[in-house]
A and B are shown apart, each in its own frame.
Chain A
Amino acid sequence: MRYFLFLIIFFSVNSYAKGIYQSNADFLNEVFNNDIPKTQMLWILDDVKKGATKILGEKPAQLRVRYWKNNQQTAWILEEVGKEKLITVGLLIENNQLHQIKVLAFRESRGWEVKESFFLEQFSQAQLTSKLQLDRSIDGISGATLSVRALKKLARLALFYHTQVIAKDKV
């Protein structure tokens, strides 16, 4: 009986862990209070490409990224491979600080703990240093090393893209 209960709990936790937690539209509605700004595009070329390559450790997968901008706020929906599959993350940046980070979809079979608030809270108000690193260390989760690494990369990438967008708009 105890063994049976353990199996039920094990499989229900696993099935709950993997999946789509929030749609892209719902995330944008949430961060912009149901008033989503116009979709804009950032082209990943020249210096932007160089910076993104430095952060990701390889060439970015796409040459353009969509974003939504409202004054000093920008929202990004970015994807990065954990071990084999893409993790979709929504990020809100304001005044060069990370205001919100949320795992929107997790497709890997392991490492789903990165969606939990105890982990994501570490990113609150994080900024990017001149070396394109986060200004703080993020504690890992055992068994979720690759997912943690993917989220750290996406946080750095969104902060970097934000600075590029703000700089571009100033010109």
Chain B
Amino acid sequence: MLKRKDNKIQRNKGRLLPFIKFHRWAGLSSFLLLLLVSITGIMLNHTEELSLDEHYISTHWLQTWYGIKMPEQQNYLNFKNDSFAQVGKQLYFNRSRLPDEESPLLGGYQMDHYIVIGLRNALYLLTPEGELIEKLNADKNLPVPVTRIGLSNIEAASGQLIIEVDNKYYTSRDEFLTWVEVQRKEFYPFLLDTPNAANKAFYRDIYLGNELTLERVVLDLHSGRLLGSLGIYLMDMAAVILIMLGLSGIWVWSRRFRKIH
């Protein structure tokens, strides 16, 4: 009688063994993914407090992995001691980033008390230190699209800033609040500068360092998208394993529970 009972237990144990093994290995293998999802989930719940969207990743291989590269639109200006760059839609005066503008840079000039930067659809007025005085656009009465920007006289001190729009010429006589059409006598357009290697490398580092936020990386780690579609399937698999883990755990536990009672 006792021997028959022992056999039954052995038989049951043998039948349960694959489930117990699966439970153990599935649990161990999915634990790391569960840990990753939990930690990144907590981080994403506190995005603002952790300022995830304000931290940028400058790790080169990660930028390459995301396919972040320098855009085609790159325009440069050199002033006496400063430089200005348009990289994609990002604008920089030395290291300082200015509000974005997509339309192409036409030229710029260091006037006596301010710097003027002209783009197809906007005009930036900066202090000599590079602080933004105002960004002018069509909403602020700037005639657009500007085709050229320049001076009425080669001498900045006596020259008047002139913009060319549809073969007409405009100037402002009230600190850029309004624009009036003028007849062109002389016109010296500003030109873009050819960048040197040092300038290019300088703005390359700044631009690439401003593209990939920590929030995006954490979000992609959380969803598995960091590894592309493979990562998504990996996370799906981990989720399925976790569901099976829960179900098989309950099943194994209920079998043992029934045996004890």
Contact = CB atoms under 8 A, between A and B. Distances in A.
Interface of A: 23-24, 39, 41, 61-64, 66, 77, 83-84
Nearest to A60: B132
B177 A64 contact: no
B131 A63 contact: yes
Contact of B132 (A24, A61, A66, A83): A61
B175 A41 contact: yes
Contacts of B132: 61-63
A63 B178 contact: no
5 contacts: A24-B139, A61-B99, A61-B132, A62-B134, A62-B135
Chain B interface residue bracket vs A: 10 to 19
B135 A41 contact: no
Nearest to B174: A39
A63 B127 contact: yes
B123 to A, nearest CB: 13
Nearest to A83: B53
B156 interface: no
Interface of B: 53, 99, 127, 131-135, 139-141, 175, 177-178
A8 to B, nearest CB: 27
Nearest to A86: B99
A66 B133 contact: no
Contacts of B135: 62
Nearest to B47: A83
A83 B48 CA distance: 10
Given A39-B178, A63-B132, A84-B53, 6 more contacts: A24-B139, A41-B175, A61-B99, A63-B131, A63-B133, A83-B53
Contact of B133 (A23, A62, A84): A62
A63 B175 CA distance: 13
Contacts of A83: 53
Contacts of B53: 83-84
Contacts of B127: 63
Nearest to B99: A61
Contact of A64 (B99, B133, B139, B141): B133
The 7 closest A-B pairs by CB, nearest first: A63-B133, A24-B139, A39-B177, A62-B134, A62-B132, A64-B134, A64-B133
A154 B53 CA distance: 22
Nearest to A59: B131
A39 B53 CA distance: 37
Contacts of B133: 62-64
Nearest to B140: A66
A13 B134 CA distance: 34
A24 B136 CA distance: 14
Contacts of B141: 39
B134 A63 contact: yes
A71 to B, nearest CB: 21
Contacts of A66: 140, 177
A62 B175 CA distance: 15
A63 B134 CA distance: 7
A148 to B, nearest CB: 13
Contacts of B99: 61
A92 B6 CA distance: 89
A64 B140 CA distance: 13
A44 B7 CA distance: 90
A4 to B, nearest CB: 26
A39 B176 CA distance: 11
Nearest to B127: A63
Nearest to A23: B139
A25 to B, nearest CB: 8
A17 B132 CA distance: 31
A83 B131 CA distance: 23
Contacts of A64: 133-134
A84 B135 CA distance: 18
